[in-house]
Structure 1
Amino acid sequence: MKRLGLHEIRSEYLKYFESKEHLVLPSFSLVPKSDKSLLLIGAGMAPMKKYFTGEALPPSKRVSTCQKCIRTGDIENVGKTARHATFFEMLGNFSFGDYFKKEAIAFAWEFLTVNLEINPEDLWVTVYLDDDEAWEIWNKEIGVPENRIVRLGKEDNFWELSVGPSGPCSEIYIDRGKEFGCDDPDCKPGCDCDRFLEVWNLVFTQFDKDEEGNYNPLSNPNIDTGMGLERIATVLQDTNNIFEIDAIHDLLEGICEKANYKYGEKAKSDESVRVITDHIRAMTFMISDSIIPSNEGRGYVLRRLIRRAARHGRLLGLKEAFLYELANKVIDSWKVEYKELEENRSMIQNVILKEEERFLKTLETGMERLTAAMDSLEKEGKKMLDGEEAFKLYDTYGFPVDLTSEILEERDFQVDMEGFQKEMDAQRTRAREARDDSDNIGWTGTNKTNVFEDLGEIDFKGYETTEVKDTKIVGILLNNERVESVEEEEKAIFVLNPTPFYGESGGQVGDKGTIIGEDFEIQVEDCQRTKEGTIYSIGRVTKGTAKLQNVTAKVDVARREKIRRNHSVTHLLHKALKEVLGEHVSQAGSLVGEDFMRFDFTHFESIQPEQLREIEQKVNEQIYESLPVSTDEMTMKEATEAGAVGLFEDKYGEKVRVVSMGDYSKELCGGTHVDNTAQIGMFKILSESGIAAGIRRVETITGLGAYKYMNEILEERREASALLKANPNQLVEKISQRLEEEKKLQHTLQELQSELAKDQVKGLEEGKKEVEGIAFIAAELNGVAVDEMRNLAEDLREKEQAVIVLSSVNGEKVNFVCASPKSAIEKGVRAGDVVKEVAKIAGGGGGGRPDMATAGGKNPEKASEAIEAVEGILKNLI
């Protein structure tokens, strides 16, 4: 048996199948493309599902890959056992209507016994109960003895989906020896003991299962195989589990070195080391594939992994962020196959560090709350944490409920998951309601259904024109009731068919305009659409009585043009963001209005000024290139193959609109756009900010709005120059000079205030008094800043070994400072307690350390009364 390293096995495998005329493809992304049924890629064949179903044409009939995979179904068990893992690599060879059982079996046997030099006598195989063909190949052609071929039933040796490609499979096992087995003399694959380890699964996809459950033979059967890279490495390196194989063990050792811990000393600490070892690989690869921590979907999976690993680091004594450094070990080792890891090194580290720091800030507070809750449960003899409390830990302190559950299990408690889910659902409901447009005048009717659904599909003409002369009002809603007419000055909802008005969607606001009837006019103030696609206009009758009749509809063209410019620039901006910040950037929302555009996107940190300038320049360059803007209707499949960018998790119909801007940008979009990027005119970024964890926002303007903004900036510059009596070209230099002068004046002022304060405290020593054996000085000052009072109090305390209480009136407020020596603190006189009571008299409050504290009061006229009360306050505290 060859003793090969993890990375050597991968290379050996891919080279072997390349020699067998297989096209070796790089691993697909962990993010499924155009497959809403999957959150993350969890199997070698998953990214090629459409090749098996015939929906897409494969690049070759023979393909081989090493696919990175994530599975989180057993995440709670990762670390507790040495078997479970979230990240793994799956070796696979695939045939799409080319070779079948005979070749697949021969390839597998040759690779294991010849290339990896595994003893054939150590290998066993299983076949499906009725698959005589596979049995014959293994026995007659490969030469595996009958007693080492095991027939198993559908549960073990048949692969299928509810509907679609399916078929029997054959698994290859390695006999690890009797010492791993049970006492059953007939022990063989299928037994629950650890003797036989399955290393390779060969799936013979020969049927198409229909909705009635019938297995119809495929005219071109396929082959789908999978062998876990880590599992075959454990065999070749003769280790007990994946944490002992070379590359992964290097990670484990790195964690132990960081934590100054020797693996094997404590079971609980070993568990933490295994959790971090597994999770650091998973998070590194996920971030490299542009997944950003969030509270939903795959982003939530990533957040769980980072936070779970960070907490286990704390259990090992690692108080500061450390995972971002360990990611380097993964990158340095795995970049031999995955070059994108090196390219994304900086981003990977930054995303992990930001999430670690965010979690560590709340971890201590959240743990205090959770510990207190567990203590209460223990006192009350309960075993279940309330779902509302678990939700608060999630919502306020960022504790994934799985993490809360795991911590509870350590003390034999559980989470009320039903109650937690109830709170989650309530939050989602609140969020949905918050998004409802209160100005829709009840277009859904009182029963929350679309009262216009009988009108059928509305024909939208707004892509081609801004005026429709021969249209008709087909529906009117007034005060939640369908009516046939609306009087002058009344506001109602009107449905036109066809309509030129764009209903708000995809971030673009709705149109405004006018509807002109035979003897009435309607001013359209907004336009919306129902979830079913009914477009409706909200408007006020400005003349006559509006009725169900033929009308002319005119869009406010000037406003529409502004919106078109702002919407078109979102596409250029999206592309520029990806180019400057990285491919992980993805649109997370937008608001396209007439005066500005707001664009939200995934990114893990604030954007540097020089990056913003580069993004802005890239967008303007595309505007000045006068790129033609074209729109094509195509199927989702065609759009994906054409490389269109879009929110692929959104719902789309059979046909989608793909908007192309030259060769620069291609996106799915249902909005209205310019015909040429030059029509945008000019683009300016006004601001950049963070709005949520991993979500950034930029606000921008275009066209005449940008021109106007630039003129306003120049005018402000001119006015500032005039005030400073400076040439506009020397404005920055002049401001720097003034700031330097101000700094010097501030320094001089502070020196004068310090001297004034010292003059005021001269002779205070003579006013030293004593109460219950504790010396104190209480005095009023005037116009002395808090910082200066603090310095004076500290000096007096050290010099006189007395409790010092000082006050100073500054404007309409009085400030207090108290300094207490160690001897007084030991007798119960803490500065924070003293100053708190003193400030109360002047209508304020405050506190601080036992040796130094400050406070403020709203009633400066009571400063004297407060200082006179010091002696009594000290008596009460001693």
Structure 2
Amino acid sequence: MRVLGLLRDGELALTHARILRPFHHRLIHTLSPPTSLRMASDREWTALRVRDTFLDFFKQNGHTFVSSSPVVPLSDPTLLFTNAGMNQFKSIFLGTVDPQSDFAKLKRATNSQKVLHLGVYAPEESTIFTQDLDDVGKDSYHHTFFEMLGNWSFGDYFKKEAISYSWTLLTKVYGLEPQRLYVTYFEGSEAGGLEPDLEAKELWKSVGVPESHILPGNMKDNFWEWATKDDPDVLEIWNNVFIQYNREPDLSLRPLPNKHVDTGMGFERLVSILQDKSSNYDTDVFTPIFQAIQQATGAREYRGQFGAEDPDGIDTAYRVVADHVRTLMFAISDGVIPNNEGRGYVIRRVLRRGARFARKYFQVDIGSFFSKLVPTVVDQLGGMFPELKRKQQDVMEILDEEELSFAKTLDRGERQFEQYAQQAKLKGSDRLHGADVWRLYDTFGFPVDLTRLMAEERGLRINDAEFEEARLKAKEASKGQKKSAANAVKLDVHDLGKLEKMNDVQKTDDSAKFARGNITAYVKAIYHGKAFYTSTDNVPDGEQLGVILDRTNFYAEQGGQENDTGRIVIDGQAELEVGDVQAYAGYVLHTGFMKYGSFSVGDAVISEYDELRRWPIRNNHTGTHILNFALREVLGNGVEQKGSLVAAEKLRFDFSHKTAVSDAELEKIEAKSTGYIRQNCGVYSKELPLATAQQISGVRAVFGETYPDPVRVVSVGVELDEILQNVKDPRWTEVSIEFCGGTHVQKTGDIKDLIILEESGIAKGIRRIIAVTGEDAHAVQMVAKEFGERLDRLDAMPLGPEKEREVKQVQVDLNQLAISAVQKAKFRDRFTKINKQVVDGQKAQQKLESKKAVDAITSYFQSPENQDKPWLVTRLPITANAKAVSESLNHVKSKLQNKAVYLLAADSEQGRVAHGCYVSKELGDQGASANDWAAVVSGAVGGKAGGKGATALGNGVNADKVDEAISLASDYLSKFKF
């Protein structure tokens, strides 16, 4: 049975391998016989009411509602996704909570935590092990996303109250029949040194649970278990985890100073019980999504069938899609962008698995399928999780982009899979060759678990060992190619002369670069080593080559925009991984490495650029136009473009301006750009006669640039047909209109935001701005938000060594922060004020400690019993303050020259000792040395010491040796006469 607890993969591992050991006490509900439940109210138990009732019950019992943490635990790299409600409270359990945070004051909490069960990350192997993904859709209860209802006590109440709350809520509030509820307690383990939890057993009896319904659980059942299969007639609904022991290095159990309660109840399971359904999918958690799926696809209604009873697979597809859209929405709204690494790759796998189910079983075109379901999920869950509402449009756009990218290869990949499956059958094998599985992933973007699913549908398996071998081989080959890619293949004037003489090779038609999607083209020339060949077979293995096609959809580097990357393929036969694209006098050369197979001149190929890379490039290019417009609006028409770079990760814009752009001006530029983006204007382009285009009012072009005739013109917000009606209309000066041959978004809203990261001077009268757009802009805004909260906590910290250390670290981190330059300037101003408070506090503390030290010395020698004593060895009543020690010695030197002193000041928490001495003239005349005296003390407290003349200073590291040092310093004086 599924057990919720504290431990997973060392999640709460402490120093010296100490582990918090919880006891689990599970509430189990029988599902058979299928009698209807008697409820406490005639009102229907909707999913919304079930959740609200849980939270209200605990809020009425003194618990603080804590919003769900994100499903992405950014502060915990060991955890792929949030997989339990307690994740965000880990610092409280471990005792590492920030004392200035709200959590430090938290005694009781309740919430509904967003949980993803998608994978466990092994960072040492860079491997992701999937959990529930493959099972979703096949049964009634597996989900990749679910809600975990929970209540916690942090050193407040313990077993008695937790058990009472659980039983009262289930039987009195929810009205579950007590006779159908069973509970477990820990039966103990002699091998583990654990006694039975008889206290919990008695407490269950005290609330009314019959002894026959209180079941013992062994180590396997009542200590952490990752997952085991549920009994179909018994459903575990709630775990009460009592955290009371610490496992010591010698494996003994030691009671914790603070005992905690951590409970977790599956929301979807609870709803199924209260609605008297045998499947989570039959509840109103999922039925509205099923209705949205049916409306979007025209499929038959959901019937709730499984396995052989679902021969057309449509009910399974309903469950898969409904589960996956929830997972995708929560992951993306919490910041996971589908990609090929880590969390992003897991989410991409979920989307592609769901898209394939939708296409195969619902027979819909993918490209905008999941986004049609988003509003329904937002209506259901947006009240509880408002981030879904805030990010709704972004989530829909990302889903569409990902679907479109996968749609470009899905048909081809499925055809290729069928070929591989047929080949396996012909060979009499029940396994797909691992190299074929790798090719489906590498060429067509098929995650391995998707290929595995398709193979199962054909009665086939995957040879995992062969797949891993192919993956590692490709990885090693890629390393070698990257090293050799520095010497890029280029065409020179002699090569161009040869091309001109080839009758079958014309200038490349690259008009398709402004459209979206793959195209079919023909290989016209193959280039390597200053020669042209008829086949790539003539090129040595592993060496870079170039291919010229009759037409291309790849964007060749020009106008400051980086080139596309991607692939040129003959499905199942050959693939060129394209890493660079350059245009030479009208010929577009695609350069890269053959991954497998070979091309020959005349071959028909599929030209496929990387849409997911071009997507942010489009954002950044249109963002550059908007930035250019905003600069002129704020700084004046004297601003002229002097250069630019449009890359996937950023944009760079160089412009003429005599002075640095002030923070106030940058803020206006950012606001003007954001305003333009928020209008969600259309972006239009058209080729116009150069003479006509040059007459457009306010048109922007790079001075000294040579433009073709006709020239491509891009306008943001006004259609070019309207502009052509009167090219000299002064209204066009209020619109971004530029000569440009780059790729752009369709609407400015696609850009989302434009954030200026940096403004600097690169030459006399030339300034440079670096900015980001789209998801990168959102990411830096999130970083800024988190840093702002960090400054809030720093500001609230009391003055002291901890705050001083944090100030130093914050200053380092602030300097390295890649966020809005405007926001960074504000942070610097705020940090300066906080730092001044700290410095002023340090000065005041320094002054106070110096006074306390001098007063202690003066008081000692002014007392009647000590005023004639020639020396003093003492520990000062201050922290390890080197300056105070030094000032005290100066006081002795100037006011008490006839006294010899050794002063020590220690700080046990920091393990530091400040010490120093003054040797009086009388003592010095007898041969005493300040350096020798200090060396004696350093021998005990460690560190270094030294000085000139009659004084010496030192810093030690053994604060626990101060008493020993005082004794040694006194002994040093015993050989001298006073």
TM-score, scaled relative to structure 2: 0.45
State the structure with bigger RCO (CA 8 A, min sep 6), 1 or 2.
2
TM-score, scaled relative to structure 1: 0.50
